[in-house]
């Protein structure tokens, strides 16, 4: 077994050493990247006590923050003096540099607060002040709203309708000092002022539990206004709110009509104020160019019906209809907390070819999510049709069957006036290939651009190694995350589903946190999870929960799916040091565990709710196949224990000693019941499967004296099959458990395997994303069951966590979350000669890189300021270690130590290069 990781007590000793050793640090010290609630200069914040974070840059070594000072004021100028600030902390003796809570006067709606921070290091040196940053509050109370909900008075039918357009002209009385737009809708909107978009955000206001919470966007529109006549225009789309959703082909799930709420606050240079609001003075039309726009089916755009200038002053709207006020309330409104969806990348096609069936096919070279921007020139009325697919069949034709009922088809009808450009407004596609028909002339590569859209989650991690197939796997994991993190963590982006499945989300959460900054993304989604949670605590299969709306079937409470209520907030807390997410989600976490506690009863065995089990595990047609199906009651009870364990830990973090003890006791009772029900006297599990052993060992459910034997049974099963047999729940745990219990060779064998089933098999088949099934495309070139065969489905990409944390060796210390204390523990193996991972933590970048050559291990570590690290050198005799070419004992800012039975190295911030003999016998 691998040694346990350092504890908080050990970390305290480490801090003492580093505080002493950092006195030689360079005086270079800067505060950078000031953020409020994870965002740079956010507008529309509704937190009463926003949290402020910053990073420290220094060319010194072992730099730690010992104190900080924050100033907040109503202007940048006022920050220059503490006496002119609305809030000044003075010098606060603290190492905190993330999530420092605002403690100034109560905030008012629409208030902008400028702030700046400086810090002192542990040598007493002060930094300069950071570049001033700001945050601005939104409308904090329902009574702040002066606008009314309005809807277009246009004729509609029960099918997809043209997108209504709403407009209003207004006068600006003089020079504008500032203007803020607060906007939301039921449906989706694209808003313009004077012919220009107000924001680059897509699919606003986003997908939430619409009947319980609706996000408002706050936008600075000062630059769009001009003295004199102005105009505002808003186009609405069905989106998730009213469009066709799920395989049941239901629409109008949340409501029958699209509605707009629009409020602009104008502050003039002379101090006067004015409001432009949605009211009965607006006008509407459904005679615009977007004739149909559907999430699943695509968009039809008739350029002949465009209305030039419709969102500019002077447009003739004489034929437009009056709008109606609906009287809807404002009590469900909340500020946007998650990142917006944007056009994040553009890619060019790699080829255009004629398929055997005669179709013209554009190949993007990458399974992507977004759409094709098309440029064409042709006669008016020419209809260009784009139909999108993920793969080609055995014959080389575009394959559409796995889309089920989703058409994924965009239609563009030319107006016949030179070169025209089209991209959809309220629809997206998941595809690599697109068939093109009706294109005027011979389509060329430069006629198409792939517009890649996803939530604006900055990439924070990267992994690479000496095996190019594994590098491609990592790229596929990242592309799968990008394609499925589109406002909610979806399961797939192409077929008639695209839902926020909770099981996929919890299985992938840690990998997601390595790849990108997803704290705000998950924070938003978890609020919807709580909003849609049932009164008895059951958690829906999907969030937002559209499966059980208007249905008697609750579609909730599946083990490993509903446990996302506990696992995801705990993961965000660990990865970002975000204690508030535990505070906010605690009631939801507790409600879920209490629900299962009631269902399990005094036997502490949870076996009376539907569960998906180890979804899509490996299966075989062999007559003598022993099976990989794990009993669902074993899985359910294991996850019951896992959530009780994590809830106890969360209660401890929050200082709830009573709850911590209560749920620790519950965990022990579940553990005992699990052993009595599912474990034989010799340590064999009733389900003799890889998933059963992985769950039991990962969640600590076996007696200490039976764990080694259980791990041997797991290893024997892997060795006997020569491959994994796990599904969505077992797969993320398989390699970590094998490696932890001394079977690293088998974990690496699974990673390196290229035959079906394996992670690299899809790579050898040309996959550019992660597949839903191990054999989405079978070895003979045929496809798996068309009813459930997404080729962009991130769940099995959860192996990414193991690549970062085990192969490269970047791991966190649970007692010091957010990577305040970093565990560097690389594990060379699997024939790899080098591996490298980089992670931008809340404190700054961490790098762990190893390379084996000529009988030596070269290891490079980068540790950010205000953190410490412990290195567990693999296979190294630290007496023969060099640091920067010098013997270890002469390296002044790193120190050898012992942790349990292993030599370790303690270090502070900076870049350090180690070298030692590796794999060479004395």
Task: Cite the active site residues.
Answer: 497, 772
Distances (CA, A) of 829 to 461, 465, 745, 916: 21, 11, 7, 17
CA distance 150 to 441: 45
Residues 6 or more apart whose Cβ sits within 8 Å of residue 779:
756
CA distance 341 to 356: 37
Distances (CA, A) of 447 to 372, 382, 390, 419, 436: 9, 16, 20, 10, 11
Helices of type H across 815-889? none
Contact between 163 and 234 (Cβ < 8 Å): no
Distances (CA, A) of 22 to 485, 523, 913: 41, 36, 18
- 849-883 burial: b if 16+ Cβ within 10 Å, else e: bbbbeeebbbbebbbbbbbbbbbbbbebebeebbb
Q: Where are the beta strands (DSSP E) in 173-311?
A: 176-186, 188-193, 196-197, 214-220, 228-237, 259-268, 273-277, 283-285, 290-294, 298-302
Residues 6 or more apart whose Cβ sits within 8 Å of residue 601:
none
Contact between 260 and 164 (Cβ < 8 Å): no
Checking phi first, is residue 297 left (phi over 0); if not, alpha (psi -120 to 50) or beta?
alpha
Chain-centroid distance of CA 898 in Å reads 37
Helix axes 579-600, 564-576, angle to 10 degrees: 160
**Count H helices, E strands: the chain?**
15, 47
CA nearest neighbour of 667 among 736, 593, 573: 593
Residue 348 exposed, middle or buried by CB count within 10 Å (0-12, 13-18, 19+): exposed
Contact between 848 and 836 (Cβ < 8 Å): yes
Q: Identify the H or E element spanning 114.
A: strand 112-121
- 60-81 burial: b if 16+ Cβ within 10 Å, else e: bbbbbbbbbbbbbbeeeebbee
- What is the length of the chain? 922
CA distance 778 to 773: 10
Would you call the peptide bond into 747 cis, given omega within 30 degrees of 0 as the criterion?
A: no
């Amino acid at each position: 077994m691998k040694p346990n990781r350092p504890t908080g007590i050990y970390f305290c000793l480490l801090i003492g050493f580093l505080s002493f050793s950092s006195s030689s640090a360079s005086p270079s010290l800067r505060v950078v990247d000031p953020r409020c609630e994870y965002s740079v200069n956010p507008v529309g914040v509704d937190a009463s006590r926003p949290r402020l974070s910053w990073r420290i840059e220094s060319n010194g070594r072992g730099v730690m923050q010992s104190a900080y000072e924050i100033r907040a004021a109503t202007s940048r100028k006022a920050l220059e003096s503490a006496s002119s600030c609305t809030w000044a902390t003075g010098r606060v003796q603290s190492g905190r540099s993330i999530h420092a809570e605002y403690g100034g006067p109560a905030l008012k709606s629409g208030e902008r607060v400028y702030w700046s921070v400086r810090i002192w290091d542990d040598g007493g040196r002060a930094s300069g002040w950071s570049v001033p940053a700001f945050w601005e509050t939104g409308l904090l109370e329902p009574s702040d709203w002066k606008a009314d909900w309005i809807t277009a008075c246009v004729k509609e039918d029960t099918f997809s309708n043209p997108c209504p357009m709403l407009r209003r002209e207004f006068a600006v009385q003089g020079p504008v000092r500032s203007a803020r737009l607060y906007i939301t809708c039921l449906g989706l909107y694209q808003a313009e002022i004077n012919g220009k978009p107000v924001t680059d955000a897509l699919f606003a206001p986003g997908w939430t539990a619409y009947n319980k919470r609706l996000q408002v966007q706050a936008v600075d529109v000062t630059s769009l206004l001009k003295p004199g006549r102005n105009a505002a225009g808003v186009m609405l789309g069905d989106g998730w709110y009213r469009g066709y959703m799920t395989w049941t082909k239901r629409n109008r799930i949340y409501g029958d009509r699209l509605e707009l709420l629009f409020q602009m606050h104008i502050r003039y240079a002379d101090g006067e104020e004015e409001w432009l609001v949605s009211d009965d003075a607006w006008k509407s039309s459904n005679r615009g160019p977007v004739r149909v726009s559907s999430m699943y089916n695509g968009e039809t755009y008739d350029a002949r019906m465009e209305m030039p200038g419709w969102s500019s002053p002077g447009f003739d709207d004489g034929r437009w209809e009056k709008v109606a006020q609906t009287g809807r309330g404002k009590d469900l409104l909340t500020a946007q907390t998650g990142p917006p969806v944007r056009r994040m990348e553009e890619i060019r096609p790699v080829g255009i070819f004629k398929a055997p069936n005669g179709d013209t096919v554009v190949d993007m070279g990458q399974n992507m999510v977004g759409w094709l921007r098309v440029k064409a020139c042709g006669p008016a009325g020419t209809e260009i049709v784009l139909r999108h697919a993920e793969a080609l069949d055995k014959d080389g034709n575009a394959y559409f069957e796995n889309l089920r009922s989703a058409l994924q088809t965009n239609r563009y009808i030319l107006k016949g006036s030179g070169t025209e450009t089209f991209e959809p407004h309220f629809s997206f596609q998941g595809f690599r290939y697109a068939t093109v028909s009706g294109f005027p002339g011979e389509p060329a590569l430069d006629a198409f651009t792939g517009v890649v859209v996803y939530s604006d989650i900055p990439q924070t991690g990267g992994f690479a190694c000496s095996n190019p197939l594994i590098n491609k796997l990592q790229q596929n994991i990242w592309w799968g995350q990008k394609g499925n993190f589109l406002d909610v963590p979806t399961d797939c982006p192409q077929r008639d589903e695209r839902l926020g499945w909770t099981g996929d989300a919890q299985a992938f959460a840690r990998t997601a946190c390595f790849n990108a900054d997803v704290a705000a993304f998950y924070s938003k989604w978890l609020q919807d999870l709580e909003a849609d949670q049932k009164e008895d605590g059951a958690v829906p299969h999907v969030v937002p929960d559209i499966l059980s709306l208007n249905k008697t079937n609750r579609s909730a409470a599946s083990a490993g799916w509903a446990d996302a209520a506990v696992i995801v907030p705990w993961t965000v807390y660990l990865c970002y040091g975000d204690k508030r997410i535990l505070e906010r989600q605690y009631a939801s976490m507790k409600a879920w565990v209490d629900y299962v506690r009631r269902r399990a009863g005094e036997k502490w065995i949870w076996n009376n709710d539907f569960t998906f089990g180890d979804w899509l595990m490996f299966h075989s047609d062999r007559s003598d196949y022993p099976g990989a199906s794990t009993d669902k009651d074993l899985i359910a009870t294991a996850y019951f224990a896992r959530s009780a364990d994590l809830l106890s830990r969360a209660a401890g973090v929050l200082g709830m000693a009573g709850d911590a003890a209560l749920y620790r006791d519950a965990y022990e009772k579940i553990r005992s019941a699990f052993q009595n029900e599912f474990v034989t006297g010799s340590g064999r599990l009733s389900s003799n499967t890889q998933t059963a052993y992985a769950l039991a060992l990962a969640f600590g459910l076996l007696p200490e004296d039976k764990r080694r034997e259980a791990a041997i049974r797991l290893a024997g099963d892997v060795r006997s099959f020569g491959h994994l047999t796990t599904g969505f729940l077992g797969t993320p745990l398989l390699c970590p458990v094998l490696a932890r219990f001394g079977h690293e060779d088998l974990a690496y064998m699974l990673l390196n395997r290229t035959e079906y089933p394996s992670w690299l098999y899809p790579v050898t088949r040309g996959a550019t994303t992660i597949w839903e099934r191990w054999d989405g495309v079978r070895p003979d070139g045929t496809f798996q069951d068309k009813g459930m065969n997404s080729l962009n489905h991130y769940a099995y990409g959860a192996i990414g966590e193991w690549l970062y944390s085990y192969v490269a060796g970047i791991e966190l210390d649970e007692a010091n979350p957010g990577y305040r204390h970093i565990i560097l523990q690389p594990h060379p193996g699997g024939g790899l000669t080098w591996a490298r991972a980089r992670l931008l933590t809340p404190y700054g970048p961490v790098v762990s890189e190893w390379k084996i050559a000529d009988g030596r291990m070269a290891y490079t570590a980068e540790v950010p300021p205000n953190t410490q690290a412990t290195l567990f050198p693999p296979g190294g005799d630290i007496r023969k270690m060099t640091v920067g070419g010098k013997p270890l004992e002469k390296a002044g800012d790193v120190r050898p130590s012992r942790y349990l039975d292993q030599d370790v190295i303690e270090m502070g911030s900076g870049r350090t290069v180690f070298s030692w003999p590796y794999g060479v016998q004395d």
